[in-house]
Amino acid sequence: MVEQFSAVEVIIAKRDGGELTDAQIDWVVGAYTRGVVADEQMAALAMAILLNGMTRREISRWTTAMIASGERMDFSSLARPTVDKHSTGGVGDKITLPLAPLVAACGAAVPQLSGRGLGHTGGTLDKLESIPGWRASLTNDEMLDVLGDVGAVICAAGDGLAPADKKLYALRDVTGTVEAIPLIASSIMSKKIAEGASALVLDVKTGSGAFMKDPERARELARTMVELGNDAGVRTTALITAMDVPLGRTAGNAIEVAESLEVLAGGGPSDVRELTVVLARVMLGAVGLDAVDPGDLLDDGRAMDSWKAMVRAQGGDPDAPLPQARESQVVQADRDGVVTRLDAYGVGVAAWRLGAGRARKEDAVQAGAGVRWHVAQGQRVTVGQTLATLYTDTPERFPAALTDLSGAITVGAREDVAEKLPLVLDRIGH
């Protein structure tokens, strides 16, 4: 086969600040998927994109080419309208767990393709795999059956969905190009558009525990993704939400499932419940089901029923005890004062060090590992009061985790309390 272009000419065009043509984009994404363009060549192009950016047309075409590299799912046979949610990731971000069954209980179908954690951010599939018997990998037919029967499914994306993204995502992770907004936006949206939901709500995190630490960068990413979704015929809305402090009171796997169950039972931490309900309202509004108040379904048990049905449909036992770590250690205040800082990034790194996350994709995670914090930023504490509890099966992990946590949870004077972001900073789109 005679190739239409050479990788070098495409790299040079972007390196020198030029716009790539539709034909160049279609070719380079397809040729990379086929193995014609080598990893080192795509790495050079990714760096050129990071440094020089892309126009809206280029990003849209790049996303379309990524979708075209694989299959598209079709949910048109479902009686319910389909709506999905995607979070850009954070610490203690267990929102998908109560949200998907809640929105399903309100009458929508939620095809939630989720991922695993890497580094300091947790992964939804890792959390759910702490439930005995629960299965992350489903065929497309199995996914459709669960959606038809239950209304919600949380599972891993199949290999056939945007395979170009799978290759490029792994490459970006090891070449310092993760932060390129055109590549983040096209990575997320290629999978979400190929997934086939009629509407999408994006939860774009900002703050120390998020990939987009600066709110303006988070808004730029949100606007880019909303444009991509709407251009592709998917009704897309984005919320910019806070990730300067971690969500809820836990970061880990099984301990986050337990906290999600508290929310599904009508309780749980107020921030987790609030964000779950806010996102549910936006999702339901996007598909015309906003006559129902999702908060009522958390309180009357219907969302919990939906959760149990979803877990059972994927082979899990919703009534089985969750795994617990073999070892724990408490962190106490060494003085009287006020919690001046509860930093999401530091808490996330501590949970990762304890075994809740992975450094490489192939690493295993501990179901019971993680961090529980017992205080909130701005709260007054006394010497000896428990600030946090650390959990792991491997106690040799405690010292490094304690070092990270010592800088993440600090006690001092009232005037030194860090300013906290509002839970929802902005809304972009419908």
Q: Which of 60, 187, 260, 306 is catalytic?
A: 187
- Written as one string, the DSSP assignment of 17-58 is TPPPPHHHHHHHHHHHHHTSS-HHHHHHHHHHHHHH---HHH
Q: Which of 127, 167, 172, 372 is catalytic?
A: 172
Q: Is 203 a catalytic residue?
A: no
Distance between start and end Cα atoms, the chain: 45
Q: How far is CA 231 from CA 60, 181, 301, in A?
A: 8, 17, 38
Q: How many angstroms separate the CA atoms of 406 and 429, rounded?
A: 40
Q: Which of 116, 166, 191, 205 is catalytic?
A: 191
Q: Which of 84, 93, 126, 165 is catalytic?
A: 165
Q: Which of 61, 86, 167, 397 is catalytic?
A: 86
Residue 364 makes CB contacts below 8 A (sequence gap 6+) with 358
Paired tokens of 20:
């790539």
The size of the chain, in residues, is 430
Q: Is 172 a catalytic residue?
A: yes
Cβ-count burial 302-337 (b if 16+ within 10 Å, e if not): bbbebbbbbbbbbebebeeebbebebebebebeeeb
Q: Which of 50, 51, 31 is nearest to 39 (CA)?
A: 31
- Written as one string, the DSSP assignment of 150-162 is TSEEEEEPPTTS-
Q: Is 85 a catalytic residue?
A: no
How many helices (H) and strands (E) are present in the chain, helices listed first?
A: 16, 13
Active site residues: 86, 165, 172, 187, 191
